Structure 1
Amino acid sequence: MKYIYLSSLIIAMSAFLFMGCDNADYKAQGNSLYIADAAGTAKATTITMDGGADINVTVRLAQKLGEDVEVEIGFTPEILTGYNANNGTEYEALPAEHLPQGATVTIPAGEISATFQLHIDDFTTNGITYAVPLTLGNVIKGNVTKSAAQGRFIYVLSKPLNVSVPVMKPVGSDKAETDPEKDWGAAVETYTLEAWVRMSYLSRNNQAIFNVRANNELYIRFGDANSPYNYLQVKAHGDGGTDTARDWNINEWYHVAIVYNGSELIIYRNGIRIAGKQVPVPKGGMIINGLQMISSGSSWFRAECAMSQVRLWNYARSEAEIQNNMFFEVNPKNPNLIGLWPLDEGDGNTFKDATGQGRDMTAGAGLIRRWEHNVRFDKK
């Protein structure tokens, strides 16, 4: 009888354990809802807005449940404030008219996740980078709570540049420049100058793409005295020059960024550092008073130079900042911009300063040979 009793007890315990294992995936205890993208270390991700954008938001359970779980999808602009402060960004919340009202997502019984697709129609951003600060709202159905730490995530919308660009080649002393009679008086300790550039000819030296009018030299050209001339040289603060390797190709778009961080002059190409040199701090500081483009005259400048998105900043941009913004507009209201010339007018000979500071550039009468339209730098 004892043997039978023990066997019965073992069978009962086994049945209990089996039932417990069978239901393990459907426990509510300790369960929570969270956004799958928020489960990693990133607090935001960038979505390319090319003719609109689709954001796929996967909502997950820590454990499956034997009932449907429904949760609200909310949008909380306030979470951008802290994110911008901590990351040096200036994202703005996507206007409410682009967002759905009363959105929910349902995870069916026995499933671990469900995906909510948010479609954003294309719209003009005017250089502003918008973001969707998404949060999980009220749990409408299901015995589960939402995660506080992983119940929110930021989706950044970046719209690739698709612009008109001028193709320039000087006649005589033609150049493009800001008003030479007006000094800006922009005092800087560090700076960044960046642009997209394409050259049709690199077999001549001293083809100057930029000449910053300042109390200390900042002169950027293709080629010095020694051939071959397919390299970029930056002469800064009286230094002999910082040179890149001789590996630039004709008829190829390059993103160029010249960064001075207070001690070193760094050249970036397509977001990657390719040259750097210790350069003395300018005596008396650096006072920037104007800007010239294609400035060495027709006897030296033989190329047709296409150029776009000229940006002059009053600080040293990081490699990440350069890479993250090469293919996209920047906010013209950014207070760190000394000037912003998109060069995307499509006609005429005036390049507007998008910052609104009135630092427009005027091109010489024969400088602009033609305009090219619908140029995409992310699809070179």
Structure 2
Amino acid sequence: MIQNILYHLRPVLRGFLIGIVTLQAAVAFLASCGRFDPAGHVFPNSIYLDVSQTDQEQIANFSNRVETASRQLSVVLAYPADNDVTATVSVDESLVAEYNSRYGTDYAFLPSQYLDFTARTVTIEAGRTVSETITIGFKGLAGDGADQTGALEIDRTWLLPVRVTSDDMDTMDGSSIAYYLVKRTSAITVAAQLTDNWINFPLLDEPGGLADVYNDLTAVTYEALINIDKFDTTNGFGECNISTVMGVEQYLLLRIGDANFERQQLQFDGSGNGSQFGKLPSKSDPSKRLESGVWYHVACTYDQATRTARIFVNGQMTDEAKDVGVTGSGEDNRITLAMQALGMAESYRFCIGWSYNDYRPLQGKIAEARVWRVARTQQEIWDNMYRLPDYEAENYPDLIGYWKFDEGGGNTIHDYSMYGNHGQAQTDLVWPEGIEIPEINKGEE
């Protein structure tokens, strides 16, 4: 009973600790500006781990294909000291029992054969507040050979407590220990952060070649995994009532929100020459709101042959319109996505996380984005929300764009389809740590 209460009180306790650390960080800033005199003894100086400044728990999820990985941290002083301060960062297995007792968990200590780290001593020079960077390495995660002999057990969480100590300085309560929750997971662990950022596809702007693959279509499916951080009404660019997933403005676009429409509801805009079904749905439904901070698989389909448009959330159809759109599929009314290759303005280009202007970025995380030149069935969408089985590009010729967002760094997004339509981020991409996308269809594929 008490353990459960303490477990649920963790956010409150962390908030209290964050306030203390924030105050000390402000003092450190003033000291660096020459506006604070440590002799004033507002509170004693102390050291802590930078990663524990806001949360002692550090999520370390790794793909089941990753052999080695690492996490970084530094030792920090609340404010500069007059003398050099030496500190040691080490693993402390004795803290496992304390953690489990406090939070009612039953995690085991990470086996030593998967850890590439020994105690490290660093020095913070007089007048400074931050040590050099310390790397905690993980090794042998995927085991040996094709059968992954000796691999870290899949989908099990292990605990690795790390603490800082010093003979020269007291440690800060609540921030001198970091608990790494280590998991080799079968789930997706990499996604890109598209905040005031988006993915462009310059190869689609050139006539012929790749543009021909994205034009003259008779059916389309868009799908992606998304997690919206905040449904902004204003952002860094101005007023905002749309979060763009992917597509082409006024032609075929999957988005969240619209003018005079529910801000957190998916909408499929098929106003272009090859679709002409308008907006699905046209009316808001608050019961279909997406929530911030939650992973969703979103998809939409349109088929000229059946004249049917659909929207899916987490593999379930939420909206459908039949007998809509074009009444015949001819050369003059095919679906076109590579609009600039046809001489259209830049506002009508295919992007992920952008449409029409800079006011409507996704403002969240994204992974597993795909474009098909067929209308996928509900069963196909449900079965393959998180991955395509036994994937080889040549086995999926109707998949014309496949961006896993699994790079984990850099600004180029690789297209895993057979067409090589690689994307380029508008600005430097952020690749957040601690990603683990829950698979709600697991065991039912």
Specify the TM-score bucket, using the shorter chain as the normaliser.
0.5 to 0.7
Deviation at 1:182? Answer: 2.6
- Aligned partner of 1:299 in structure 2 is 359
2:337 is equivalent to residue 288 of structure 1: yes
| 1:206 has 2:242 as partner | yes
User: Within the alignment, does 1:188 sit opposite 2:226 as a pair?
Assistant: no
Relative to 1, partners in 2 of residues 1:222 and 1:260: Cα closer, same or farther, differing over 3 Å?
same
Corresponding residue of 1:321: 380
Q: What number of residue pairs does the alignment pair up?
A: 222
C-alpha distance 238-168 of structure 1, shift in aligned 2 (>3 A): same
SS in 2 for 1:265: strand
Identity of matched residues, %: 23
The structure number with the bigger radius of gyration is 1
Task: Report deviation, 1:379.
Answer: 6.7
> Is the partner of 1:377 in helix, strand or coil?
coil
* Alignment match of 1:224 (pick from 246, 249, 258): 258
Deviations 1:52-108 (A, max 9, x none): 9xxxxxxxxxxxxxxxxxxxxxxxxxxxxxxxxxxxxxxxxxxxxxxxxxxxxxxxx
Structure with more contact order per residue of length (Cα contacts < 8 Å, sep ≥ 6): 1
CA contact (8 A) 2:247 2:337 kept: no
Q: Which runs of 5+ in 2 are unaligned?
A: 1-62, 66-145, 150-184, 234-240, 339-348
Matched-pair contact (CA < 8 Å) for 1:166–1:372: no
Report the CA distance between 1:260 and its aligned residue. 1.1
Map of 2:318 onto structure 1: 274
1:242 aligns with 2:266: no
RMSD over aligned Cα atoms:
2.9
Cα distance change of structure 1 residues 240 and 51 upon mapping to structure 2, 3 Å threshold? closer
Amino acid at match of 2:335: M
Report deviation, 1:351.
0.4
Equivalent residues of 2:222, 2:246 under 8 A apart: no
Q: Which one of the candidate residues 397, 405, 415 is aligned to 1:343?
A: 405
Q: Give the drift of 1:191.
A: 1.7
Question: SS state of the match for residue 286, structure 1?
Answer: coil
Alpha-carbon contact 1:160-1:376 (below 8 Å) kept: no
Q: CA deviation at 1:164?
A: 0.8
Equivalent residue for 1:178? 201
Alignment of 1:21-32 (within 5 A): none
Q: What code does the residue aligned with 1:195 have?
A: A
Distance 1:269 1:348, change over 3 A: same
Poorly superposed stretches of 4+, deviation over 6 Å: none
**Mapped partners of 2:377, 2:186: distance in 1:** 20
For 1:178, give the aligned amino acid. F
SS state at 2:325 partner: coil
Q: What is the aligned partner in structure 1 of residue 191 from structure 2?
A: 165
Q: Is the 8 A contact 1:163 1:375 kept in 2?
A: yes
| Alignment check: 8 A CA contact 1:346 1:373 kept | no
1:254-295 deviations in Å (ceiling 9; x for gaps): 101111132111001000000012331275211332730111
CA drift of 1:309 comes to 0.4
The corresponding residue for 1:70 is: none
Task: For 2:425, give the aligned amino acid.
Answer: A
1: CA distance, partners of 2:277 / 2:416: 32
CA distance in 2 between counterparts of 1:306 and 1:292 reads: 15
Could you state the TM-score of these two structures normalised by the residue count of structure 2?
Answer: 0.45
User: Which has the larger helix fraction?
Assistant: 2
Instruction: State the match for 1:44 in structure 2.
Output: none
Q: CA deviation at 1:353?
A: 0.6
Offset of 1:163 from its aligned partner?
A: 3.1
TM-score, structure 1 normalization: 0.52
Q: Distance in 2 between matches of 1:189 and 1:199?
A: 31
